[in-house]
């Protein structure tokens, strides 16, 4: 909303409970009709779309059938906003984890979208407020990492409850009395806490820059992305450790640990916390030339 004209944003947000969902990836094609676009496209990973009032889809802008190019030479890609009634949904979110996100496919099939309801997230300037100084993908990465940290915390909690009640086969003492359990729970707790603290520290520093400088430097954006990936990887390791400690109990659907295990591994597949992010950050740390806009 920070990228739209104020009148358009106010119109879309008249209901304070309005929900938006969407996907930035420019999988759609938007033909320029003058005051509007004719849009076709299908997107995956439409998280939250079953509950949304408006759906957004990234599109390449076309003029006379050809992509419009930016001064950089890259195709013009924008997010277009359509009311739910104009969008077709595929009931295909049949997955191993994060089942509750409702991340089904959705499609715009020849619908018309006014130009006022389109935003260029990578080239347009948003409102001059601290939150909008944050990089769009950096904010997204922080959200993914935060969910994963929560899953790590839940895994430790569930294992702690189980360890007090379960006596493993062939043992006389409960799981909590085993030295391996004690060591792994201690290690997981401190490493997860450290990852969370680092993420908060880096985010706080970026927020301070945004408030006082109005911009966030590339170095700080890089640090945000690295902290998010580190938190994600630490969360996966934490959950794996707790899942393994629980033994056969963790495989049953009655065990919260199996759901946490599935959820954290699906979350780890998100491109914003994937290995290529660290590759880009590493290039920047080493002083190599590269395209760092995605940070």
Whether residue 181 is found in the same domain as residue 63: no
Whether residue 71 is found in the same domain as residue 216: no
Per-residue model confidence as pLDDT tens digits over 168-224: 887 788 999 999 999 999 999 999 999 999 999 999 999 999 999 999 999 999 999
pLDDT given at position 66: 94
Residue 22 is assigned to a structural domain of this protein: no
Residue 102 is assigned to a structural domain of this protein: yes
pLDDT given at position 147: 97
Residue 183 is assigned to a structural domain of this protein: yes
Would the pLDDT of 288 be above 80? yes
pLDDT given at position 67: 94
Would the pLDDT of 71 be above 90? no
pLDDT given at position 83: 97
Per-residue model confidence as pLDDT tens digits over 85-134: 999 999 999 999 999 999 999 999 999 999 999 999 878 889 999 999 99
Whether residue 120 is found in the same domain as residue 152: no
Asked if 96 and 262 touch (Cβ cutoff 8 Å), the reply is yes
d(Cα 147, Cα 264) in Å, to the nearest integer?
9
Whether residue 59 is found in the same domain as residue 138: no
CATH number at residue 135: 1.20.140.10
Would the pLDDT of 294 be above 90? no
Q: Which of 124, 150, 181 is the last residue of a domain?
A: 124
Q: Which of 124, 150, 166 is the last residue of a domain?
A: 124
d(Cα 25, Cα 43) in Å, to the nearest integer?
8
pLDDT given at position 122: 78
Alpha-carbon distance values, 226 to 19, 125, 145, 240 (Å)? 29, 25, 11, 21
Q: Which of 91, 124, 157 is the last residue of a domain?
A: 124
Total domains in the chain come to 2
pLDDT given at position 221: 96
Residue 195 is assigned to a structural domain of this protein: yes
Mean pLDDT over the full length of the chain: 95
Whether residue 157 is found in the same domain as residue 267: yes
pLDDT given at position 293: 79
pLDDT given at position 76: 93
Domain with 146, as residue range(s), is 130-285
pLDDT given at position 172: 83
Choose among 233, 231, 223: nearest CA to 145. Answer: 231
d(Cα 47, Cα 291) in Å, to the nearest integer?
28
d(Cα 295, Cα 282) in Å, to the nearest integer?
12
């Amino acid at each position: 909303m920070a990228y739209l004209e104020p009148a358009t944003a106010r119109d879309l947000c008249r209901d304070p409970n309005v929900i938006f969902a969407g996907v930035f990836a420019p999988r759609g094609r938007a033909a320029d009709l003058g005051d509007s676009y004719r849009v076709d496209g299908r997107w995956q990973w439409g998280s939250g779309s079953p509950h949304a009032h408006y759906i957004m889809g990234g599109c390449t802008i076309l003029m006379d059938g050809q992509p419009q190019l930016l001064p950089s030479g890259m195709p013009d890609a924008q997010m277009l906003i359509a009311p739910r009634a104009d969008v077709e949904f595929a009931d295909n979110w049949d997955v191993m984890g994060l089942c509750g996100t409702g991340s089904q496919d959705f499609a715009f099939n020849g619908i018309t979208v006014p130009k006022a309801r389109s935003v260029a997230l990578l080239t347009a300037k948003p409102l001059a407020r601290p939150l909008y100084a944050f990089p769009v993908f950096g904010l997204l990465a922080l959200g993914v990492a935060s969910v994963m940290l929560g899953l790590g915390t839940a895994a430790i909690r569930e294992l702690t409850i189980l360890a007090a009640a379960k006596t493993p086969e062939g043992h006389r003492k409960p799981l909590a009395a085993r030295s391996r359990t004690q060591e792994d729970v201690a290690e997981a707790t401190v490493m997860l806490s450290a990852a969370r603290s680092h993420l908060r520290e880096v985010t706080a520093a970026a927020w301070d820059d945004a408030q006082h400088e109005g911009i966030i430097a590339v170095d700080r954006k890089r640090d945000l992305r690295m902290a998010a990936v580190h938190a994600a990887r630490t969360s996966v390791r934490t959950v794996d450790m707790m899942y393994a400690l629980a033994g056969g109990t963790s495989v049953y659907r009655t065990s919260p640990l199996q759901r946490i295990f599935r959820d954290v591994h699906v979350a780890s597949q998100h491109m914003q916390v994937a290995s290529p992010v660290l590759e880009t950050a590493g290039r920047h740390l080493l002083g190599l030339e590269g395209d760092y806009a995605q940070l």
